[in-house]
Structure 1
Amino acid sequence: MPSPALQKYLTHLYNTQGASTNIWLDEEGRARGRYFNSTLTSAFQAIRSGQDRRVIGYEGYARSYAANDQGLNIWKLLDHAANDNESVELDRLCRILHAINFYRQPESQGVDLYLTVHTRLLAAVEGNHGMAFRRILDILELPHQHIVLQLPQITPSQRWVLNHVADNYRRNGFRIGINASDAHQALELLDRVRPDVIKLDANHPTATEAHRSLLEQATKAGSRVVFKRLENQEKLASVQDNHAGSDYFLQGFLLDLPAASLAVKKTENTGIAETAT
């Protein structure tokens, strides 16, 4: 069940349907938001253990509203048309929508919510990164310690920004995820940023000494390594064969399509169980 504060807020949203507001509930109880002239909502993709396929978290994506969960990527549609201040506003709206749509579902209990911090937000936000979002979570009595804020890939000139943002988010009680271009960069960021999660593209080669070293060092540091964009059986077999016996995690269309519901359904490709626990 949602927290009492979140339940009260959901009731308020339901009772204000049709009013002039940026967030409201549809007939299925799903939170929608308004940005410019677009209606957006949340879709979630599971992140699974590489050992037993157990769901350990979900990544939230902002989508234009569609009844079949196949809405368009709202950032690709709107971000380039928005200035920095408008991008900050869009990011905050998306985070609130994801938190509401995630924690209103019973399957959210005991698993993590992964939210992306977009590149333009690194330098656009002044002051204390994460403070405004943490305040909203506290009001709604939602567990910030189960939220992983994913920082984007960076250029060498952005290193100081990445460290500053990561430290601010961490001081506000959030866990930190990073996206690395390859295992070598991931090892450098593991030592410098000390992330809770490291994401690598599954399409990159995996049978390298750097990858084995990364998994070993990440395990010692208590960090998770997630192989993302897993889209075919060949890539899955490669990750499994090269990292057997190691702790690693998987995410991609082969295993799960982004959807509004957290309830996991059995599919032909995965053979996964029908529950998220």
Structure 2
Amino acid sequence: MIPPTIPTLIARAAEHPFLGEYLAMGHGEHSDIALARFDGHELASSYEPIFDISVHSLAQSLTSGAEGADRFGDELGFQAVTQRLDAPPFDVFDPFDRIADDQQLVVLDRMSRALHAINFFGAQRHGLLFLRVHERLLKSVKYDHGRHFSTVLVSFGLNPSRVVIELPAAAVAHKTFLGYLTTSYQRYGFKVAGNLSNAGQILSVSETARLDFIKMDAGIALRDATVKPLVGYASRLRIPLIFNRVVDEAQFVALQQYDVRFVQGPLFNAHYHDRAV
């Protein structure tokens, strides 16, 4: 089966009763990517790499310059970032705080997820696609979380199992809610990641909320000296732990002392030079 291209996926989106209103192929120098139009802005996709540093020596790659970007290691996947077309790479466009209406929030979220999926799968990227979910959206949608997006992906010929829905720390803090959300998204074929606001939150993760990934801010974990216990507890849970927001080589070197496997953050973005697809 031939993988769908971005133009093919946009053609399918044009026939969708909702997405056709917002998504289209780009223009000029951006004619090979999908764009979304929302609230007077043209929105595009950037992708932050998440590296498995147990496979290759990422530390050596960091000193090799932009031309060595492909030698960083094996990518577990990429986290999608919504940005304005005219903004610098990885300059996040976050209009959620400006939207008071919950239904409009749902529209923006569904449009953004579809945009990122089209640009990701249509460009034949490998690995997993990580998509953040806003806390307010989780409260706006009362039940069957993941059903709509799964239906869209399947209708486009795309596989939900390559998509990781990333839950905010506020959702992870509530054990019962976390269990419900995780079960719901996984029922519709997605993988689920949970963000921790602090190391203690990992105690909310259990067999009742069987996350596929856990994410933790590297700076906070290093500051609080909780990297080692986090790595140990996640290992006992058998859930991969990703340290994100790694900002410099000093943080990266410190993380390596504790057998950290997965990393993500501005340090790697700067070297990866991966402009909005």
Aligned length: 250
Note the C-alpha offset of 1:172: 0.6
TM-superposition CA deviations, 1:16-70 (whole Å, max 9, x none)? xxxx83110014321111112222111110000132232110000111112x643
Give 5+ residue unaligned stretches, structure 1. 15-19, 262-277
- Alignment of structure 1 residues 251-270 onto 2, 5 Å: 251-257=264-270, 259-261=275-277
What is the SS of the residue equivalent to 2:267? Answer: coil
CA distance in 2, matches of 1:82, 1:74: 17
Give 5+ residue unaligned stretches, structure 2. 15-19, 57-72
Q: 1:170, 1:176 within 8 Å by CA — same for their partners in 2?
A: yes
CA distance in 2, matches of 1:157, 1:199: 13
The equivalent position to 1:60 in structure 2, one of 72, 80, 85, is 80
Q: 1:247 to 1:22 in 2, by over 3 A?
A: same
TM-superposition CA deviations, 1:137-196 (whole Å, max 9, x none)? 101111111111000011798443332222210111111100002222124324542211
Q: 1:5, 1:141 within 8 Å by CA — same for their partners in 2?
A: no
Note the C-alpha offset of 1:208: 7.7
Pairing 1:100–2:118 present = yes
RMSD: 2.8
CA distance in 2, matches of 1:196, 1:170: 9
- Alignment of structure 1 residues 1-277 onto 2, 5 Å: 3-4=3-4, 8-11=8-11, 21-27=21-27, 28-51=31-54, 52=56, 53-66=73-86, 69-70=88-89, 72-75=91-94, 77-106=95-124, 108-109=125-126, 111-154=127-170, 158-206=174-222, 211-241=227-257, 243=258, 246=259, 248-257=261-270, 259-261=275-277
CA distance in 1, matches of 2:205, 2:78: 23
Q: 1:122, 1:162 within 8 Å by CA — same for their partners in 2?
A: no
CA distance in 1, matches of 2:175, 2:233: 21
CA distance in 2, matches of 1:4, 1:137: 12
What is the SS of the residue equivalent to 1:73? Answer: coil
Q: 2:26, 2:33 within 8 Å by CA — same for their partners in 1?
A: yes
Q: Which residue identity is paired with 1:238?
A: A
CA distance in 1, matches of 2:90, 2:76: 25
What is the SS of the residue equivalent to 2:176? Answer: helix
Segments of 4+ moved more than 6 angstroms: none
TM-score, normalised to structure 1's length? 0.80
What is the SS of the residue equivalent to 2:268? Answer: coil
Q: Which residue identity is paired with 1:86?
A: Q
Q: 1:105 to 1:41 in 2, by over 3 A?
A: same
CA distance in 1, matches of 2:139, 2:112: 18
Q: 1:2, 1:104 within 8 Å by CA — same for their partners in 2?
A: no
Greater helix proportion = 2
Note the C-alpha offset of 1:260: 1.5
Q: Which residue identity is paired with 2:89?
A: Q
